[in-house]
Amino acid sequence: MCRRWVSRIRWLASSAGFLLVIGQVFAADDGKRGFVEKVYKDEAGEHKYVVFVPPSYSPSKPVPGILFLHGAGERGNDGRLHLNIGLGGMVKAREATFPAIVVFPQCEDTRGRVLQGWLAGTPDADRALRILEQVEKDYRVDPKRRILTGWSMGGFGTWSIAAADPSRWSAIAPIAGGGQAKWAEKLKDLPIWAWHGDDDHAVLVNRSREMIEALKGAGAAPRFNEIVGGDHESWRVAYADDRLIAWMLDPANVDPDKLPAPKEKLAPTPVYTEQFVPALEILGAMYARLGNQMLEALAYSAPKQIPADLLKGRINDIVEFTNVEGYGFRVQFSGISYNSQLDQVRVKAITKDRLNLQVGLSNAVLNIGGTWVTGEDHSASAGPIQVVIGHRRPVWLDIDVKPYVENRRIRLNPIASRFDIPNDNWYVTSPAGVSVSGFGMSRQKVSSGLVSGLYGQKQRIQQEVQSTIPKMIETVENKIAEFSEAGTFTDRFWPIPVYKPRTRVFPQAISTDENGITLILGLTAASMDLRNPPSKPEIVDLKTSLPDDLTKLRSLQFGLAPGVLEPLSELLVKADVGRIHLLDIPENTFAKLADRAALTAAIPELKRHADVELWTELSLARGISTKDQIEKEGQTRVQFHTPKLLITISLRKGTKNFELAPIVVFEIDLKQNGFAELVKPDSQSRGIRFGWDGEPQITINCHFAKGYQAENQTIDSNQIESWVKDCWQAWTSLSPIATANVPDIDFGISKLRLSNAGWASPHLFATFAPPGVKVTNLTDVDFIYETKGPYSDWSNAKYKLEPGKTHDFEISYPLTYRRNGEIYTLAPGSHSEFRVPLKGGPPSLFQARENP
């Protein structure tokens, strides 16, 4: 026994020692979880950063650690700006379950080259690694699962830092970045998964392609997802994909068959953004036309979208007084609950200020838990009774509402309602467990009396069903309110490849007519400088008029007033972020304007500063406006006008906290026409291409900077103007302003597809219509078949499709086809063909081999 106690004491002592060591090593763990603000101190001062600590973190168990490097737009020293863009928002969305510690350092060099801020060996990159080391002292991070990832400027830093010390990392995930091909030999043994949008105009996709090809040439097997139609904000797709997160944490044990294919079409996910401080409100910025054709498509999918508990609830006890054979009785129905199946929904605008909603209820059950009958000398009680409505077919709850806007929310005011239960479409069950007391009372009399009494209460039951309308209306209003949090049309219209404003829409006014609903929408833009946000937003009223024939439109159309561009681009100017070093512009022609020898030939004064580095920067000094719609070849052209674009040549003094001393300024006034058009990459995809048209109108004023004393006043303005025009033309010929992939609007069962787009004064518009279902007969015999929709029966008459002909069903929902016992469901937007199989045999229906 003594030995046993000695061993226990030793075990306790060793355990206590272990716990003491753990406590000392990870003493900085103060118990805070989630996004924890920290300060790192070095000889340069204090540096704010954030570390995300999982709620489940315990010092007793090591966890993976991720170092995230943000993009150029989030540079600063506030310690929080970079949480809004990139990995921060995606971690926030998964905060309760995210399994890794994530370190968020901030690049403090706000004026340096945007692609070089995180490169290995720079002060910010070195400090980020020291911060990571500090976090690994404060928390128990698994050194075998140390991951590096970053976006844009951070994507370049990811490649660079990993190449400097590959052994430090278990995996890297560079997003929209690039590097040097010579690094491939160092990186070939490191798990790598790169992401890049193939329509990225800020950092061309070739930068990632070159790295991937170099790695393959070195014998590596990197993963690379080239996001089809993806722009510069590819982090929205990459970090939203749980498969990437799982791979980063354990790349060796992820099933490759479950990872996305290299060019799999991946959609961005709505992102949590920590701060949305309104800086600008634009009234009349957009309109939305929700025609009855669109409302029909929405209604088809509504039963799948409405919460299941909407048609469940409880009703207060019902008390009735009645006379039977001269005796008075009090009847109390208690424990009443209801539930129903939502079979179908119909939505239609019917006239001015009237919207009709129809809800088809089936198998609606009113459960009465117990019934008590009491009289002077008689009493009875009964067990559960059910009132079942709509057991044969749906019973329709018909509601007329008046839509209106209140406090920037769409409200629906019920005006009238109808709910009529057909006599053949409901029944009442006999009660269970009837008991009676009193002379002349029998269980059969009570049972039949209760059943007949409930049948006599049909009007009351109809009223109880109608009493659920306010709850339904509230749910619909909340669903509509979610729309304001979604991305807006401005995201696809934005002509600048970086610094897209974060926007939300709000309803200003709503009206209805016999063909649909028209919404006038305002736009709220968040401050781009969260360090100095405005106390209240600036308000701009565009006062644009709606298209004349808008009320005739029965489909879905969004319209954006081009006038929003000027106040939105002014946000860049005020936040002082609309600037870029010429060598960071993807089009190499701009390098001419940063070439010292060429500049010195045009500006001899620069010879005086031969020993000082020249810094050439392009900046937006005034907002971009639009005007003068011009018709050409059936398309409307809109003139973009940038009245003040600056190219500033400065002397860069110092290396770490350098200063810029402006010498020469080129003031550029630029006008060029643009257009928008529908594009169809294939039978299933649609997009909008925003392009440039014609020759630009460029005027340049070249002068020495204010306060600079030039000894040689010569500036070859003609040469400078020629270079600027060459640069701009090269940039505009490289690609359109943007080509935005526009996915189908998928309601669940039904969908709408982009069918038209362009400029129509005074709006940029995009129209969506049912994608339809096509069936083509490629045989030499008639093709006979039947069809049905999601809520209809088989067609009364069979369809006859002659050889070589096509049936085009203009519908938004799936079509079920039947022929000789063969049944298929044809998805909206699909094209099928009736033909002989390639290997021979009787004709059958197949997916079309070519685009319709």
Per residue in 80-90, pLDDT tens? 888 888 999 89
User: What is the average pLDDT across 682-690?
Assistant: 83
556 and 658 in a common domain: no
415 and 297 in a common domain: yes
**What 3 state SS string does 118-168 have?**
CCCCCHHHHHHHHHHHHHHHHCCEEEEEEEEEEECHHHHHHHHHHHHCHHH
Q: Residue 15: pLDDT band by 50, 70, 90 thresholds?
A: very low
Query: Which is more confidently placed, 488 or 450?
Result: 450
Question: Is pLDDT of 23 > 80?
Answer: no
The average confidence (pLDDT) of the chain is 87
Condensed to tens digits (0 to 9), the pLDDT of residues 331-354 reads 999 999 999 998 899 999 999 999
3-state DSSP assignment of residue 468: coil
**Is the distance from CB of 524 to CB of 503 less than 8 angstroms?**
yes
Residue at 756 is within a domain: no
218 and 86 in a common domain: yes
**436: CATH:** 3.15.10.10
Q: Residue 354's domain spans which residues?
A: 275-562
Of the residues 508, 534, 562, the one at which a domain ends: 562
Residue at 759 is within a domain: no
Q: How does DSSP assign 218-277, residue by residue?
A: TT---EEEEETT--S-THHHHTT-HHHHHHHH-GGGS-GGGSPPTT----------S---
3-state DSSP assignment of residue 519: strand
418 and 363 in a common domain: yes
State the pLDDT at residue 21: 39
Condensed to tens digits (0 to 9), the pLDDT of residues 166-220 reads 999 999 999 999 999 999 999 999 999 999 998 888 888 999 999 999 999 999 9
Query: Which is more confidently placed, 89 or 281?
Result: 281
- Return all residues near 61 (Cβ < 8 A) that are at least 6 apart: 140
Question: Is pLDDT of 22 > 50?
Answer: no
3-state DSSP assignment of residue 763: strand
User: What is the average pLDDT across 55-72?
Assistant: 94
Write the DSSP symbol of residue 95.
T
413 and 469 in a common domain: yes
User: What is the average pLDDT across 694-716?
Assistant: 93
Q: Count how many domains the chain has.
A: 5
CA–CA gap between residue 99 and residue 766 (Å, rounded): 41
Question: Is pLDDT of 644 > 50?
Answer: yes
- Peptide bond just before 403 cis, omega within 30 deg: no
For the sheet with 773-777, list strands across it: 806-809, 773-777, 831-835, 844-847
Question: Is pLDDT of 810 > 60?
Answer: yes
Nearest to 397 by CA among 300, 478, 462: 462
State the pLDDT at residue 274: 56
Residue at 761 is within a domain: no
Q: How does DSSP assign 619-671, residue by residue?
A: EE-S--EEEEEEEETTEEEEEEEEEEEEEEEEEEE-SSS-EEEEEEEEEEEEE
Condensed to tens digits (0 to 9), the pLDDT of residues 354-381 reads 999 999 999 999 999 999 999 888 899 9
Q: Which residue has the tokens 């308000």?
A: 539
Condensed to tens digits (0 to 9), the pLDDT of residues 505-563 reads 999 999 999 999 999 999 999 888 777 788 899 999 998 889 888 999 999 999 998 88
Condensed to tens digits (0 to 9), the pLDDT of residues 752-793 reads 999 999 888 788 899 999 999 999 999 999 999 999 999 888
State the pLDDT at residue 51: 97
How far are the Cα atoms of 71, 81, 150, 222 from residue 94, in angstroms, in the given order? 21, 19, 18, 27
State the pLDDT at residue 635: 63
Residue at 668 is within a domain: yes
Give the helix/strand (H/E) hosting 474: helix 469-481
Question: Is pLDDT of 14 > 50?
Answer: no
Residue at 749 is within a domain: no
How far are the Cα atoms of 335, 387, 728 from residue 453, in angstroms, in the given order? 18, 12, 84
697 and 623 in a common domain: yes
Residue at 755 is within a domain: no
User: What is the average pLDDT across 451-464?
Assistant: 90
Tallying the residues shown for the chain, one arrives at 852
Condensed to tens digits (0 to 9), the pLDDT of residues 293-331 reads 999 998 988 888 777 777 888 888 888 888 776 778 899
804 and 726 in a common domain: no
Crossing angle (nearest 10°) for helices 123-138 and 153-164:
70
593 and 516 in a common domain: no
The encoded tokens of residue 81 equal 């700006």
696 and 659 in a common domain: yes
Q: Residue 4: pLDDT band by 50, 70, 90 thresholds?
A: very low
Nearest to 493 by CA among 249, 672, 231: 231
Q: What percent of the chain has pLDDT over 90?
A: 56
Question: Is pLDDT of 239 > 70?
Answer: yes
Residue at 267 is within a domain: no
835 and 705 in a common domain: no
State the pLDDT at residue 264: 74
CA–CA gap between residue 221 and residue 225 (Å, rounded): 13
State the pLDDT at residue 16: 39
Kindly tell me the number of DSSP H helices and DSSP E strands found in the chain. Answer: 16, 41
CA triplet 338, 342, 348: central angle to 5 degrees? 125
96 and 152 in a common domain: yes
**Is the distance from CB of 546 to CB of 765 less than 8 angstroms?**
no
Question: Is pLDDT of 673 > 90?
Answer: no
State the pLDDT at residue 113: 86
Residue at 269 is within a domain: no
The encoded tokens of residue 578 equal 């609309």
State the pLDDT at residue 280: 95
User: What is the average pLDDT across 2-18?
Assistant: 40
204 and 72 in a common domain: yes
For the chain, state the CA radius of gyration.
34
Q: Are strands 625-632 and 435-437 parallel, antiparallel or unpaired?
A: unpaired
The encoded tokens of residue 482 equal 């979610």
Write the DSSP symbol of residue 425.
G
**Is the distance from CB of 569 to CB of 626 less than 8 angstroms?**
no
How far are the Cα atoms of 62, 382, 422 from residue 143, in angstroms, in the given order? 9, 70, 71
Highest mean pLDDT among 28-42, 317-331, 618-632, 756-770: 756-770
Q: Which spans in 183-230 are helix H?
A: 184-187, 206-217
3-state helix, strand, coil in the chain (%, to 5): 25, 40, 35
- State the first-to-last Cα distance of the chain, in angstroms, to the nearest integer: 88
Query: From start to end of 376-499, where are the E strands?
Result: 379-382, 385-389, 395-406, 409-419, 426-428, 435-437
State the pLDDT at residue 18: 38
Condensed to tens digits (0 to 9), the pLDDT of residues 250-274 reads 998 888 888 887 777 676 665 555 5
CA–CA gap between residue 425 and residue 392 (Å, rounded): 6
Of the residues 531, 562, 593, the one at which a domain ends: 562
